[in-house]
Structure 1
């Protein structure tokens, strides 16, 4: 995880996008949200997807290892914020949003008791294979029954280019979430033409998939 902090310090954050993710906009209805619903965004960085969700009238709880990312989110979006500390987290907060700076695995069900949906654009695919099962199990343990998850993944020949983001295919998603979640594949397509980094590496394909999960 020190590499993650170093990437933020050096500004090597190629995963960060300046516009809201098109799949979030297209498929957010699968979360069946009410106005003022609270959405959990794991490994949130300074994603403008959170700003999009705020502007839609939702509440946000994010978790992020880098304090620099949290600071940049609020400052770049001109949001006045405050800071409070707990035993395990430094929490940056403003109206309708809290970003917990610390280890995702230190979150508990009480921290997320208000959450009715999860938006995972870059958490699962940011983790190496040996952490993914632990991640999905911990996520299951800290969200309420009935909670829905909008999950975005990438799949490509991992032998042709190293992650992160790491390749996670449909079979792996189904295996990771089979205990406790219903899983629906919403979309999967090859988007190599829009990924110059993967083109330069001569990768054969890059599939982008969107899933809707439902905690039983």
Structure 2
């Protein structure tokens, strides 16, 4: 699939190009607030975590500092390089043998970030994990790839593991994605076949309350230069977390 900005799709080269150009408004300058909110729940005996489409998120540092073995995958090598350099973590790099890509590892091997295609990840390559930490990764995936994405993550999840997913719900008329607007019905329709789903409403970040009706026709995406400006134009904006376990 090729990149189609108007249609809301990005291929691997499109994502790498965004990192090369510094168009990374989606990157957060701190770790997700949900980590501290659910800290007691997350810090169980089994502490291995996998972050799909991890970029250079500081969630990695939070998990690392709390004793987790952290793995992630990111197609843009620049993002992984910046993660290690900006956090002053010495790393070693090796080429992957079974799929195209590289593995960046901290010296203590507790952080392992794969520069590879998300859909190339297998248990044989990277193992299976106690926690899948999907902090707005599903919302970045092209709609046509969603089931393949879920199947990949199911294969990387231990049978008794937990899958935490963060979504965004906004008026899709103002921005085609990514990130895509994913209200509850989208999460349920894509995940309910494989997962038990718990909506963690206590963790909601309601930036703008969703109205019962919308009278004004929103301006289309081409009127906005950034996702932030589109979010500001949306009549509603909600960040929501879900906790899922395998059926």
**1:190 aligned to 2:202?**
no
Match of 2:166?
152
User: Post-superposition, which runs of at least 4 consecutive aligned residues in structure 1 deviate over 6 A?
Assistant: none
Change (3 A) 1:91 1:11: same
Query: Which digits, 9 at most, give the CA deviation of each residue in 1:17-51, with x for residues without a partner?
Result: 1111112221244446326x110000000001101
Aligned-pair Cα RMSD in Å = 1.9
* SS at structure 1 position matched to 2:244: strand
Following superposition of structure 1 onto structure 2, how do residues 117-136 of structure 1 map, counting pairs within 5 Å? 117-136=131-150
Distance in 1, matches of 2:160 and 2:194, equals 10
Tell whether 2:242 aligns with 1:211: yes
Q: Residues 41-80 of structure 1: matches in 2 within 5 Å?
A: 41-80=51-90
TM-score between both structures, scaled by the size of structure 1: 0.91
**Cα distance in structure 2, aligned partners of 1:79 and 1:189:** 32
Deviation at 1:99, TM superposition (A): 0.2
Q: State the partner residue of 1:7.
A: 18
In structure 1, distance between residues paired with 2:133 and 2:155? 16
Contact between 1:31 and 1:212, CA under 8 Å: does it hold in 2? no
Query: Which structure is larger by alpha-carbon Rg, 1 or 2?
Result: 2
2:62 partner SS: helix
Q: CA deviation at 1:57?
A: 1.1
Task: Give deviations 1:176-208, integer Å, cap 9, x for gaps.
Answer: 111221110002452139x953454x2110111
3-state SS of 1:57 partner: coil
Distance 1:139 1:109, change over 3 A: same
Any stretches of 5+ residues in structure 1 without a counterpart? none
Q: Write the distance in 2 (CA, Å) between the matches of 1:196 and 1:123.
A: 17
Q: TM-score, normalised by structure 2?
A: 0.80
User: How many residues end up aligned between the 2 structures?
Assistant: 213
In 1: Cα distance, 2:16 partner to 2:79 partner:
9
Q: CA deviation at 1:65?
A: 0.2
